Structure 1
Amino acid sequence: MKSKRNVMIFVVVVLVSGWIGVLVDHFLPEQPQGDSLGMGIWLVLPLFATILLRAFMGDGWRDIGLSPNFKGNIKWYVVALLIYPVITFAVLLISYLLGWMDFSDFNIKGLTSAFAGGLLIQFIKNFFEESVWRGYLTSKLSKLKLSDFWLYLTVGGIWGAWHIPYFLVFLSQSDIASFLPVNRWLFALVGIITMIFWTVMYTEIYLMTKTIWPLVLMHMTEDALVNPLILDGYIKITQGKEILVSPSAGIITTLLYLVVGLLLRGRRKRLEEESVLNPPPTFTNKV
C-alpha cells in the first residue's frame, strides 16, 4: 500500500513539474533558449521527489541500483554501449542504399569530436535521469508484479508524458524541424510513442542487471551521438522520408529498437527459466 501511494505521489510530481517550470519562465521571460530556470525545475523535480520519498516516506535506498553489479553483467554493459551506435549505423546504411539521405555534409572527424565532447555532460545528466526512471519508477513498479506489457507501457508513458512541456514549450521549433517536419503536438505524440518502445530495452537491461549504470551509459551514448548527428547537420533526410528513417524517431528506427528490446526480453526469460531448472547449489555444514 505504501509503495503504491508513493508511486502515485511521484507520478503527480512528474506530470506537474514541467508545467511549474513553464509558469516560472512565463514570469521570467528574458532567459536563454534551452537553458532557463523553468527547464531546470522540470529536470530536477522528479529526482528531488525520489530523494524525499526514499528519505522520509519509507521507500528506502536499497533498490536504487547504484551498485554496478559487474559480476556476470559485463556483456550487458557492452550491449548497452553498442545499441544506439549499431542501430543508428543500420538506419544510415538503409537510408544510403535507398537514397533517402544526403551525406554530402557528413564529417566523421567532426561527429567524433562532438560525440566525445558531449559524453561527460550526458553521463552526469543521465545518471540523474536513470536514477529516476529505472532506479525508482521501474524498480517500484516491478515489485507490484505488473505484466511486462503494462510495465513497459506505464514506465514509458510516464517518461514520455514528463517530456510534454519540453516538446510543447522548452524545445525550439527549429530543433523540432531538424528531427521531424511536424507541429509540436504531433512531435509530442511521436516522442511519447518512441519512449514507450525504447522502454522495452531499458527495462530489460535493468531487470537483468539490477543496476542503473548500463542504462546511464546507453542513454549517454544516445544523447551524445544521435542528437549532434541531426542537430549539427551531418545528414540531410530526403523530404517525406523523415518519418521513416529519422535516427531519433523514425518508424524504421523505432521498430528496430523494439526488436532489440524484445530480443533482450527473450534472453531474460530464458535466463529465468534456467535459474529455476538449475538452482545454485546450497551448502550445509555437517557436524
Structure 2
Amino acid sequence: MDTKVIRNVVVFIVVVVLSGWIGILVDSVLPEQPEGDSLGLGIWLVLPMLTAIAITIFSKGNWNDFGFKPNFKGNIKWYLIAVLIFPVVTAIVLIIGATTKWIDLSAFDLRPFILLFSSTLSFTFIKNIFDGAPFYGYLTSQLVKLNLNDWKIYLIVGSLWGIWHAPYCLVFLPETDIQAVLPVSRAIFFIVLIITIICWTVMYVELFRVTKSIWPCVVLHTVEDSLVNPLVISGYISIVAGKEILISPIIGIITSILYLFVGLGIRTYRRQANQMLLVNGE
C-alpha cells in the first residue's frame, strides 16, 4: 500500500473527528453564540474540506481526487437520477406509510411546501459542498488508491461521515429537531444516525465513482435536505408514535433499506460498465 496515501488518510480522519469538538471549544469561549448559526458550527462544517485541500497542497497530491470537474459529458443521466432519487423513494415511503396508517398526510399542503423547498435550495447546495463531499469525494478517491474492496470503502466513509456528526447531534442540533425526527435521547439518535448514514453512503460513493464528480452527489444531497428534512421537521406529515424508526423519511429502517438498494443498483451498473471497458480493451 502507498504509505503517503495512508498517512494522508490518517491525518484527514484525525482532523475530521476533532473538527466538531474544536468548534464546540471555540463556542465555549465566545459567549452569546446564536443557536444553529455559531462560529463553532461553521468550523465543524468547513474543516473537513479545508483539511483535504491542505493535505493535497502540502503532499502535492492530485486535484482530480476531489471530483471538482462536473463531467457533464456522458453523465447527464446521473444528474437527472440524482434529482429524482429522493423524491421517488420518499413518495414510496409516504405511500407505504399512508397505506399502513403509520403516516398522516392530512396536514400536507403542496404549495407552501414547494415554496419552502425552493427557498432552501441555494443555501443547502453551498452547504453540501462541505457536508459530505470531502467524504464521498476526497476520502473515497484515497481509499480506492489503497485497493480496498467496496464494502470496506462504504464502511470507512460512512462511519467517518457519521462520527463527524457526533458533535452536531450531541451539542449543536436543537433538541426540538431531534424530537421531531425521533423522540429519543441525543446519544441514541446519534447511534441511529450513524447506521442510517452508512446505508446511504453506498449511494453517494457509487454515484461519485460512476461519474468521477462530486456534483451529482451534491445535487442529490441538496434535494434531500430541501425535500425530506422540512417534510418531517416542519410538520407537513406526522408519524404514529413508535413507528418513526420504521417509516420516517429521514431515519426509518424501510427508508434506509430502499436507499441501500439504490446504491447497490448503481454499484452493479458501475461494475458492469467497467467490465465492458476491460472486454473492449479500453
TM value normalised by structure 1: 0.95
Partner residue in 2 for 1:58: 60
Letter in 2 for 1:234: Y
Partner residue in 1 for 2:279: 277
Distance in 1 between the 2:29 and 2:125 partners?
31
Deviation by residue 1:48-90 (Cα, 9 ceiling, x = unmatched): 1112111122223132211111121111111111111111111
Partner residue in 2 for 1:144: 146
The CA RMSD over aligned residues, in Å, is: 1.1
Q: CA deviation at 1:35?
A: 0.7
Kept after mapping to 1: 8 A contact 2:154/2:201: yes
Q: Residues 231-246 of structure 1: matches in 2 within 5 Å?
A: 231-246=233-248
Distance in 2 between the 1:171 and 1:241 partners?
22
Distance in 2 between the 1:134 and 1:168 partners?
23
Distance in 2 between the 1:182 and 1:47 partners?
31
Partner residue in 2 for 1:285: none
Letter in 2 for 1:11: I
Structure 2 gap segments, 5+ residues each: none
Alignment length (residue pairs): 280
> Which secondary structure does the structure 2 equivalent of 1:62 belong to?
helix
Going from structure 1 to structure 2, the CA distance change for 1:268 and 1:60 (only over 3 Å counts) comes to: closer
Letter in 2 for 1:228: P
Distance in 2 between the 1:57 and 1:141 partners?
16
1:155 aligned onto 2:154: no
Deviation by residue 1:22-57 (Cα, 9 ceiling, x = unmatched): 112222241211111111111111111112111122
Percent identity of equivalent pairs: 53
1:258 aligned onto 2:266: no
Kept after mapping to 1: 8 A contact 2:132/2:161: no
Kept after mapping to 2: 8 A contact 1:3/1:59: no
Distance in 1 between the 2:231 and 2:203 partners?
22
Distance in 1 between the 2:262 and 2:64 partners?
29
Q: Residues 1-287 of structure 1: matches in 2 within 5 Å?
A: 1-280=3-282
> Which secondary structure does the structure 1 equivalent of 2:63 belong to?
coil
Greater than 4 Å deviation, 4+ residue runs: none
Letter in 2 for 1:178: A
Q: CA deviation at 1:264?
A: 1.1
Letter in 2 for 1:146: L
Letter in 2 for 1:61: W
TM value normalised by structure 2: 0.96
